[in-house]
Structure 1
Amino acid sequence: MSFDGIVTRSVTYDLQQKLLSGRIVKIHQPYKTELVITIRTRGKNYTLFLSANPSFSRFHLTNEKYANPQEPPMFCMLLRKHLEGSILENIEQKGLERIVTFSFKGKNELGDVSYKTLIIELMGRHSNILFINQDDNKIIDSIKHIPPSLSSYRTVLPGQLYKDPPYLDKLNPLEVSEDELLKKLNFNEGKMEKQILNTFSGLSPQIIEEILKKEKFANRDTLPNAFLETLAPVKEHRYEPQMISNGSETFSVIDLSHKKGDRTIFNSVHEMLDRFFYGKAERDRVKQQAQDLEKFLRNEYNKNKKKIKKLEKTLTDADKAQKQQRFGELLTAHMHEVKEGDEYVTVTDYYDPEQNTVQIPLDPRKSPSDNAQLYFKRYHKLKNSVKVVTEQIEKTKEELMYLDQVIQQVENASPKDIEDIREELAEEGYIKRRIQKKQKKKQDKPVLDQYISSEGIDILVGKNNKQNEYLTNRFARQNDTWLHTKDIPGSHVVIRSEEFNEVTLVEAAKLAAYFSKSRHSSQVPVDYTLIRHVKKPSGSKPGYVTYDQQNTLFVTPSEDLVLTLRKK
């Protein structure tokens, strides 16, 4: 994946066609490094998404819905104060760099015209969004602050002059001629990929690979033509947004003929980016937000696995109970042959068909009678422990199933789901309840994920145990159809209708498979039955149910189907 200068150019060009002269209607900051700006133009609202996420920095129009924090961050409040109601006058990319400037015309508190600039710099972990006063080029604020202690090249703090990021001295590949290209590259030096990367701006390794593979040999005669031919669509704004899947996914706005795999062509670069980044940044946020939780759950899971091994060993030892009983009875029968202080005695084993002798260890400090009683005590203790250990093994297996389920839910959770999972674990006594500054109003009804099948039937999905319990035990009707992956941790899924065709059933099964531990598998078994046949055993863990009269489907999960069916 590469949000390079070419993708930046494609997005910038399309935004210029759609957003210029638009009015800023709303500004939100759903997460620390991301902005959502609603712009109204030509009677339509557009949602512009800007992200300085260190792993997924990008900007594009989006159809995704982002939850807003109860209290907007200071940077968001500042932008609202200065930009809401302003007109977007210009959008400009710096050469072919991943730096884009949004220029706004508005009015200040005195009613005078003011000009402000929002700059997004897409530079990996150094990505940033800066708010600039055009009159004096000073930084009003930025989404990330960079004090002198972090950078000797430039300071990014309110009141400082804005300075371009370093290393912007590369050539724009769209402006070079064939002769200039030949002068800049040393064909005797080799390492042509590195030379092109260090000489020209905005080119990702995959674009350079496309250039070099247009001809079998990159030499003075073939390279210039391949270079100019590859970049011609970019220069002329002829884009072909596409995603290529071949085990991993990549995206591009021009055709990458050297890349093998399944291609999906999109109507716009925004649609492509929305699809590619769907869930990726969210899962990254969840990973950071729930890192401690996931570590704790995995530790608990491993502890219980070790506990089962110890219990099974104890159960194996308990199988020796019959031997203890036999030694006690043999000692009693041969009591006259045992002398005090003996460490062992050899007697005829009446239980052996061949009447062989057996050596019985003794405690020399005890009398022959006490030694016999000691063996009987061990026998009764081991015999009684079998029942206890068996019960403990069953309870530990249930614990493992529960922890495995919660681990799967954390992996598939959205940021808003994590707090529900934390609350559940606190209620179950696994972790301490977090002290909240403000007691939030408890929500009686969890919010369920909603999907609509191809024939218009509602399908509901629970993403954590609170949602699963509400969906299955309270929300669903007796004749609704319930689905769950067979013997695999996953979500509860309900088809909210008594009448539907096989297409809806298969789509619901694919949703159940996707929101399970087998998301990346094929031919996943999914059980389905009516809600009336699903029961929650008394005292069982959250989300645990038993069911009968089920049938099983085998399906392969599809993220594209999830996106298609998701209720907007």
Structure 2
Amino acid sequence: MSFDGSFTHAMVHELNQTIATGRVSKINQPYANEVVLTVRANGHNYPILLSANPTYARIQSTQIPYINPPTPTNFTMILRKYLQGAILKEITQVANDRVVHLHFTSRNELGDQQELLLIIEIMARHSNVILVDSASMKILDAIKHVGSDQNRYRLLLPGAQYIMPPKQDLDDPFQGPRTDLAATIREFPNQEVLAQTLQHQYQGLGKDTAAALATALHASGDAQKHFQAFFERFNAPQPTLTVTVNNKTNFTAFPYPTSGTTESHPTLSVLLDHYYEDKAERDRVQQQGSVLIRVVRNELKKNRTKLKKLQRTLAETENADDYRIKGEILTTYLNQVVRGETAVTLPNFYDDNRPLKITLSNQLSPNQNAQKYFKRYQKAKNAVIYVNEQLEKTQADVDYFSNIMAQIELAAPKDLVDIRLELQEGGYLRDHDHQKKNKKQRRQKVSKPDRYTASDGTKISIGKNNLQNDQLTLHSAKRTDIWLHVKDMPGSHVIIHDADPSEATILEAAQLAAYFSKGRDSSNVPVDYVPVKRIHKPNGAKPGYVIFTGQKTVYVTPESDLVARLAD
């Protein structure tokens, strides 16, 4: 289901019950298009997410942790100036549209009371979060600035007059039906056509909501009554996550008539956290890690192209002996070779004197032609050693950057900091801060690995990138601890902080290793485990690369529920 007007109605109702009359205690902008207001209400702190993400725009209370940037944005500073300590009076929705107004009251620098509106417009790629002075309706700032070159209808710039999005000439379904529904049903007996008709008549009906409403109306004898009853359910929602038979996941304010498995959640916000956690994280990583992804992809492409060329060169060197044989035959039968010829056929004494045709240069003497073949033989022979060395090095680079790409795919936004540092230290990514003059440089600390606790209380650590992996395995772990890693694929280093863990703990740690690896979506994933004292890092090896001996292997199927349960 999309975050349509009807779901917005239910969310506004939930947030009013939860945070209305609360006070803003913190304001952060962890991501480019998302603001988090922490509202203190009823003795609890509620982080309220206002997202103008083009794909995942929404408003909700969230418990998903986030990392703030080291320097707040201009929009964050404006919000803090006007809303820090402000009272949230109420939250309203414009008709049944996806436009929500958060009404605040606060004091300005002179101590005078002022009314402010924080408006979130949930409109796909046109989504925005806008701070407006209620008295003048002047825009104080917006998370996305929209000038006249982008939108002639209205400006979304500081100082501009706030103009509502173009209003649709549709009815608010929460005001009741405006037409004879029984007549509409008779006119459109097909449920799919009826659903489309309802969408064109009533505001804020997504495709799923319209289809569910059409089904409810068709099944009832009193369409008017069931219409009102359908929308009353949005005021007392039963948050539901549905996985259809096509393995598509949908969220709804209450169960819609559809085939598939359903899962209930206590609140709409918890439902959205569960639905968006992975999707939104992937999108944030793609946005924040776009430069890293481009660098790694370019390095992968360059090294894979080089690998193919080296393999072709190596295949060509397999003919080195042919050059030697031709040189020796020419040397043996020099008296039979006439200068100026372009080819000669001579008996091959390496092959029962069978005739062998040898190509010649008509510009060289017979002896010079023979020496040319010997030089080509020696060059090809020497190339074998060089090409094999380059093949090994290039394959190591391909494996390394494949591992980096896998780490980015599995990373949370906070993990990108270490990956960026690793690429900078490796010379693959320019450190712009390092280029600045007259600025003291401090070596950036590697972030701490994630911590988990096995069912029996044993502590488990997981490195989420190569720098964390090296720090964890080579410096933090005891020699008697147990090290785990998926077999023959990119993944995290996992440490069990126990010299003699139980079999159950090993299996749980192995599931963590499989989950934080390229094999996350696979079953029966092989995981090697071995004491840390048997782990070694070759001299000059790239970050994250180690060798080991004497390992044992277990096979597990990663489960996200177990990972969530073991998290500290």
Same fold (TM over 0.5): yes
1:287 equivalent in alignment to 2:289: no
Shift of 1:357: 2.0
Change (3 A) 1:184 1:32: farther
Shift of 1:205: 1.0
Contact 2:40 2:46 in 1 (8 A): yes
**What are the within-5 Å matches in structure 2 for residues 156-305 of structure 1?**
156-177=156-177, 179-182=179-182, 187=188, 191-213=193-215, 230-234=230-234, 236-244=235-243, 246-260=246-260, 262-305=261-304
SS in 2 for 1:70: coil
Contact 2:118 2:131 in 1 (8 A): yes
Provide Cα deviations, 1:225-269, integer angstroms capped at 9, x if missing partner. Answer: 8755644522x5132332436533221121123142x43321221
Matched AA of 2:378: H
Shift of 1:77: 2.4
Change (3 A) 1:440 1:284: farther
The equivalent of 1:407 in structure 2 is 405
Change (3 A) 1:464 1:213: same
Provide Cα deviations, 1:81-124, integer angstroms capped at 9, x if missing partner. Answer: 33222322212223322222222233333333333222222111
The equivalent of 1:358 in structure 2 is 356
The equivalent of 1:396 in structure 2 is 394
SS in 2 for 1:540: coil
Contact 2:238 2:264 in 1 (8 A): no
Shift of 1:538: 0.7
The equivalent of 1:485 in structure 2 is 486
SS in 1 for 2:175: coil
SS in 1 for 2:118: strand
Tell me the distance in 2 between the aligned counterparts of 1:268 and 1:318. 68
SS in 2 for 1:35: strand
Shift of 1:383: 1.9
Matched AA of 1:447: K
The equivalent of 1:338 in structure 2 is 337
Shift of 1:470: 1.0
Shift of 1:58: 1.2
Matched AA of 2:238: Y
**What are the within-5 Å matches in structure 2 for residues 451-462 of structure 1?**
451-462=452-463
Contact 2:418 2:447 in 1 (8 A): no
The equivalent of 1:422 in structure 2 is 420
Contact 1:266 1:272 in 2 (8 A): yes
Tell me the distance in 1 between the aligned counterparts of 2:161 and 2:445. 51
Tell me the distance in 2 between the aligned counterparts of 1:160 and 1:298. 42
Contact 1:243 1:276 in 2 (8 A): no
SS in 1 for 2:356: strand
Q: TM-score, normalised by structure 1?
A: 0.90
The equivalent of 2:530 in structure 1 is 529
Matched AA of 1:56: Y
The equivalent of 2:69 in structure 1 is 69
Count of aligned residue pairs for this structure pair: 562
Q: Which runs of 5+ in 1 are unaligned?
A: none
Provide Cα deviations, 1:361-404, integer angstroms capped at 9, x if missing partner. Answer: 22233232222222222222222222221111111111110111
Tell me the distance in 1 between the aligned counterparts of 2:151 and 2:123. 15
Contact 2:487 2:528 in 1 (8 A): yes
Contact 2:176 2:227 in 1 (8 A): no
Matched AA of 2:18: K
Matched AA of 1:211: L
SS in 2 for 1:539: coil
Which range moves more in the overlay, 219-228 or 397-406?
A: 219-228
Contact 1:139 1:158 in 2 (8 A): yes
Tell me the distance in 2 between the aligned counterparts of 1:306 and 1:223. 66
Matched AA of 2:366: P
Tell me the distance in 2 between the aligned counterparts of 1:350 and 1:173. 97
Shift of 1:552: 2.1
Matched AA of 2:544: G
Change (3 A) 1:362 1:139: closer
1:17 equivalent in alignment to 2:14: no
Provide Cα deviations, 1:174-199, integer angstroms capped at 9, x if missing partner. Answer: 33238543567752898433322222
The equivalent of 1:548 in structure 2 is 549
Tell me the distance in 2 between the aligned counterparts of 1:390 and 1:298. 24
Tell me the distance in 1 between the aligned counterparts of 2:16 and 2:383. 76
**What are the within-5 Å matches in structure 2 for residues 37-116 of structure 1?**
37-116=37-116
Change (3 A) 1:224 1:394: farther
Matched AA of 1:434: H
Shift of 1:130: 2.1
**What are the within-5 Å matches in structure 2 for residues 145-160 of structure 1?**
145-160=145-160
Contact 1:446 1:470 in 2 (8 A): no
Tell me the distance in 2 between the aligned counterparts of 1:151 and 1:327. 76
Provide Cα deviations, 1:202-245, integer angstroms capped at 9, x if missing partner. Answer: 22112223334558xx69979768755644522x5132332436
Shift of 1:23: 2.0
Tell me the distance in 1 between the aligned counterparts of 2:114 and 2:167. 31
The equivalent of 1:139 in structure 2 is 139
Tell me the distance in 1 between the aligned counterparts of 2:304 and 2:351. 39
Contact 2:171 2:178 in 1 (8 A): no
SS in 1 for 2:174: coil
